[in-house]
Amino acid sequence: MSLTSPAALFWFLLAIPIVIFYLLKIRLRRVPVSTTMFWNQIYEEKKPRSIWQQLRHLLSLLLQLLFLALLALALTDPLFFWETNQKRRLVILLDRSASMQANDTSEGSRLEAAKVDIHDMIRTLRSRDDMALIAVGATAEVVTGLTGHHRTLHQAVDGLEPTDQPTDFREALKLANSLIEGHPNGEIVLMTDGGFDDFENVAATEHVVSQLYGEPDTANVGITQFQIRRNLIDPVGYEVLVEVINQSSEPAETRLEMELEGDIVDVIPLKLEPDETWSKVLEYTSPTGGILTALLDKEDALASDNEAYAILSTLQPQKVILVSEGNRFLEQVFNAIPLVELEIVAKQPETIPENGVLVFHRKTPEVLPTGNVLVIEPESTTDLWTVGETESSPLIAAQDKESKLMAHVRLDNVLLSEARKIEPKTEIEELATSVEEIPIYFSHETDQQKVIVLNASLDEGDLPLRTAFPILMSNALNWFSGAESEFLESLATGAVRKVDVSELEPDSTTIDLPKKPDSAEEPSGSERVTRKLTSISLTGPQEHAEELIAQDEQLWLGPLNHVGLWKLSPVTQEKKTETTSIENTASVPIPQIEIACNLANSQESNLRTPELTDSVQKLQQAGFSFSPFWFYLILFATIFSCVEWYLYQRRWVD
Amino acid sequence: MPLFDTDFLKKLEYLAIVSRRVFRGQLLAQQRTRQLGTGIEFADHRDYTPGDDFRHIDWSLYARHDELLLKRFQEEEDLHLYLMLDCSPSMGFGTPPKFDLARQMTAALAYMALSNLDRIAIIGFADSILADYPLTRGKAQILGLMRFLENLHPAGHDTSLTAMVQGFVRRQQRRGVVIVISDLFDPHGFQEGLNILRHHQYEPHVLQLFDHKEADPPLRGELELLDMETNTVNKVTITERGLKQYKKLFSDFMEQVERYCRQYGMGYTASPGDVPFDALILRMLRESNVVKN
């Protein structure tokens, strides 16, 4: 044992006055009384205890000297050899994943209970000890580096906010190990609820002590999957993938309520057996789209997995101009496709509306216009192909099954009456070909033009009578509109996604910067690469906004902290300078991208704390040594003081 | 401050008048004896026998009943009052000392007796008779008596009422009232001394004085108790429990003295040592028959 402040040993000199006072105390105060005959009656009985009476005085002195010795020793701040070898270095890995928000502890949430423990640990830090605090979610965030400053550590702990992220301790553990590397008294304190894959291994790692929060039987029902997409067959339909899990050893009953933009879409009662996962793809229709919300009507320990969000793309009406002398099959099929605004004309219009489709039946111009063009049964040569002789009863020999244009379509058993021999003048994508290698159905796509050709007669043959025909046309219109790219996947908390922000139309905040800084010594032969940086504002579900930088109209987004709807919007000059009036700002609609974020993590929804095995070092064992030695010295001194008071000094009034 | 000042003397005179007015017929100087003689108070008649003094024949009765009867009268005699003053060192305890009040009470009772033409004697005692003021009569003796009292101081080294009384009753003297003024802290017991007085036809009256610090001593902790009478030292650790026991013992002792006096028809008065003597005298006269007929 060594002493931090040996000078405090001078306090032992106080023993001298104590002994002097003790000796003076033996010379008792003499008090004259008129008679001792009454006192004699009282104390005559106690004579046999006279030896004890003498010992009591000595014991009193010993207790007082012991009290002094302990206090003086405490002032020297003694350290045991294992404490003096090197100072301690503690790295706290605090789990702040979604499951730590479960409110099954006496302090409220698990995170709050952990924060209380960290505050206690900070208070027991000695002057030479260091502590670092790393908050662990999907990523590791160093909240404070190694420091022994108590106030800084307390403020850092108080400033920690819960997140809905999943848990990934691997990166944090590497970071913590690098902080204590080479330090003989380094220790990593794992404060978690154990809700991640590799917990047993992480907790059993050398230098790691663990403290678990939560209960082993905390029940929870949560949504672990919630995705939405447009129906591939039905343009106005959509499919919802939803998964609900009962992370409990008891059966659970709940209701799953789904609302699209505030309107109830469906309410599904659920009865889940212990540990049962209910998963289903549900189909609904909506031409408008919007925010689809799923809610579990059950209050449990974790709220963030009782709600989930998804964004259904909004369909725009599609203008279809049919240049034809009249074909009932074509009119009927386009009228049957939802959101199609059909216009039949005899002559080719001068312009094609944006996102519109120009359909030529038989007659085609020599040069096809730019834009979306669908040609049915071409009769004349154009700039893209040359029309040859007619081939009767062609049989479909091959079709591209991978193409989206051919999705859910089989043409091999369709009887066609005739088809023209077509020689393409440019590169085409053959979607269906006859035995004679005549392209029956093919597409051509450039930056300015999208062309689909169906080389088959509709008046004869059974193609218009087949179900494949409307699907074929619907696929074609979807291909023209690009609707298949509108699938907006819900993002899981903690995940990262690349987002195209080109539609946000950044204004003057957009800047062009050279990749390399200007320099006089720049080699003349080096290529100058220009990157386009754009400021994007990210607003979370809690209306907290932060500014991100997109590069070349691509933004790496994530990991997101909270479940809910996040919005990306451009950082306008008005926002930055705040000089423009509110009215002007309000009059211009600000483009924005909405992103749904869900917990979608069955491990985070599982709130049942695992049992610690014997190989895991628990914090409670290590925590006892956290209290400095002088604390126990003063504790014992106080106890001895109380004993001395009880034996010799206590008084009470009857 | 002198023990007997002018104010004290004025109060004495006042007490003498008051006592005479209020307790006339029962006060000290008008005591009737059992002897019938030449007093002025009629007692009864008896038959005339030859040789009786003709002056005592009740002629009025003879005129009415034609019968010679002699009138008999109660013979009156002066009272002998013995004041026993405890002079042991324990009487010097207290604030003010109990001995001061004891001497004032002795002087006051003596003055009242002398004013009523009674005879008084003062016996100062501790373990034996230490000082003696012989029987005397007449108010003129009061100044000498006060000088005697002023010269008395607590002395001796133990209280022994029995030893003193045994010496007292051996004297050839008339019986009378004995007033014992003491704290009665007699380790041998107070009963024996009072019994001897009763058995020798004296009429004892007890005036017991105590101090508040004796009834409720402000003592705690490790102490050396110096016994003022025996001059011995006892080392004690006074705890609350011990103090409680002391108070009970003291209270029991006071009750024992009072119970004993009441049992044998003796007058008893207990008083702390810090009360005015005149108030105590009036209380004695009101509460008890100091002297019986």
How would DSSP label each residue in A306-351?
SEEEEEEPPPPPEEEEEESS--HHHHHHHHHSTTEEEEEESS--S-
- Residues in chain A closer than 8 A to B224 (CB atoms): 28-31
Give Cα separations from A165 to A162, A203, A622, B266 (angstroms). Answer: 9, 20, 29, 101
Q: What pLDDT score does A515 carry?
A: 46
Chain B residues contacting A via beta carbons under 8 Å: 90, 93-94, 183, 185, 187, 211, 214, 217, 219-220, 222-230, 232-237, 240, 242, 244-246, 249-250, 253
Nearest to A440 by CA among A471, A419, A462, A461: A419
Nearest to B220 by CA among B203, B241, B199, B206: B241
CATH-assigned architecture of domain A318-484: 3-Layer(aba) Sandwich (3.40)
Q: Name the amino acid, one letter, at A31.
A: V
Mean pLDDT, chain B, whole residue set: 84
Q: Please, which residues bridge with residue A30 across strands?
A: B224
Fold topology of A221-312: Immunoglobulin-like (2.60.40)
| Half-sphere exposure for A374 (CA within 13 Å, toward CB) | 27
Chain A residue closest to B154 (CA)? A34
Nearest Cβ partner of B219 from A25, A31, A40?
Answer: A31
Cβ count within 10 A of residue A1? 11
Q: What pLDDT score does A569 carry?
A: 87
Q: Please, which residues bridge with residue B78 across strands?
A: none
- Looking at CA atoms only, how far is residue B152 from chain A in angstroms? 18
Residues A304, A98 contacting (CB under 8 angstroms): yes
- ipTM of model: 0.82
Q: Please, which residues bridge with residue A361 across strands?
A: A376
Q: What pLDDT score does A517 carry?
A: 45
* DSSP result, A165-231: ----HHHHHHHHHHHHTT-TTEEEEEEE---STTHHHHHTSTTEEEEE-S-TT--EEEEEEEEEEE-
Query: pLDDT tier at B73 (50, 70, 90 boundaries)?
Result: confident
Residue given tokens 């060594």 in the structure block: A2
pLDDT tens digits along B103-112: 999 999 998 8
Query: pLDDT tier at B29 (50, 70, 90 boundaries)?
Result: very low
Question: In the predicted model, is pLDDT for residue B171 greater than 50?
Answer: yes
Q: In whole angstroms, what is the distance from residue A361 CA to residue A344 CA?
A: 11
In chain A, which among 42-71 make CB contacts under 8 A with chain B?
Answer: 42-43, 53
Q: What pLDDT score does A234 carry?
A: 72
Q: What pLDDT score does B96 carry?
A: 92
Q: What pLDDT score does B220 carry?
A: 84
* DSSP result, A429-449: EEEEEETT--EEEEEEE-SSE
Q: Please give the distance of CA A7 from its chain centroid, rounded to a whole number.
A: 55
**Dihedral sign of CA atoms A607, A613, A615, A616 in order:** positive
- Looking at CA atoms only, how far is residue B80 from chain A in angstroms? 32
Q: Domain A83-217+608-627 maps to which CATH number in 3.40.50.410, 3.40.50.300, 1.10.10.10, 1.20.120.450?
A: 3.40.50.410
Q: What pLDDT score does B206 carry?
A: 92
Q: What pLDDT score does A600 carry?
A: 87
What residue ranges do the domains of chain B occupy? 6-28+80-287, 34-76
Strand order in the sheet with A277-285: A220-230, A237-247, A277-285
Mean pLDDT of the region B200-219: 92
Q: In whole angstroms, what is the distance from residue A305 CA to residue A284 CA?
A: 23
pTM: 0.52
Task: Name the more confident of B257 and A457.
Answer: B257
Residues A444, A384 contacting (CB under 8 angstroms): yes
Q: What pLDDT score does B93 carry?
A: 93
Kindly report the CATH number that applies to the domain delimited by A491-515+529-599.
2.60.40
CB contact under 8 A, B93 and A28: no
A325: its two tokens: 């002398």
Q: Name the amino acid, one letter, at B290.
A: V
Q: Name the amino acid, one letter, at A360.
A: F
Q: Which residues of chain A have pLDDT under 50?
A: 48, 485, 508-527, 578-586, 621-625, 651-654
What residue ranges do the domains of chain A occupy? 2-77, 83-217+608-627, 221-312, 318-484, 491-515+529-599
Phi, psi torsion values for A188, nearest 5 degrees: -110, 125
Let me know if the fold of A83-217+608-627 is the same as that of A318-484.
Answer: yes
A104: its two tokens: 């099954």
Q: Is domain B6-28+80-287 classified as CATH 3.40.50.410?
A: yes
Query: pLDDT tier at B34 (50, 70, 90 boundaries)?
Result: very low
Using N-to-C axis directions, what is the helix angle for A328-336 and A468-481, rounded to 10°? 60
A49 Cβ partners below 8 Å, 6+ apart?
none
Using N-to-C axis directions, what is the helix angle for A50-75 and A629-644, rounded to 10°? 150
Q: Please tell me if residue A649 touches chain B, with a CB cutoff of 8 Å.
A: no
Query: pLDDT tier at B26 (50, 70, 90 boundaries)?
Result: very low
CB contact under 8 A, A42 and B220: no
Q: What pLDDT score does A152 carry?
A: 92
Q: What pLDDT score does A359 carry?
A: 93
Task: Name the more confident of A483 and B169.
Answer: B169
Nearest to A619 by CA among A282, A188, A48: A188
Residues B180, B67 contacting (CB under 8 angstroms): no
Q: In whole angstroms, what is the distance from residue A342 CA to residue A320 CA?
A: 5
Mutate: best of B91, B227, B231, B253, partner A, most A CBs <10 A:
B227
pLDDT tens digits along A402-447: 888 898 888 888 888 888 899 999 899 999 999 888 999 999 999 8
- Looking at CA atoms only, how far is residue B224 from chain A in angstroms? 4
Kindly report the length of chain A: 654
CB contact under 8 A, B183 and A30: no
Question: In the predicted model, is pLDDT for residue B14 greater than 80?
Answer: no
Mutate: best of A30, A39, A46, A47, partner B, most B CBs <10 A:
A39
Nearest Cβ partner of B224 from A29, A34, A40?
Answer: A29
CA dihedral A120, A122, A126, A127 (to 10 degrees): -150
Q: What pLDDT score does A505 carry?
A: 64
CB contact under 8 A, B217 and A33: yes
CB contact under 8 A, A39 and B246: yes
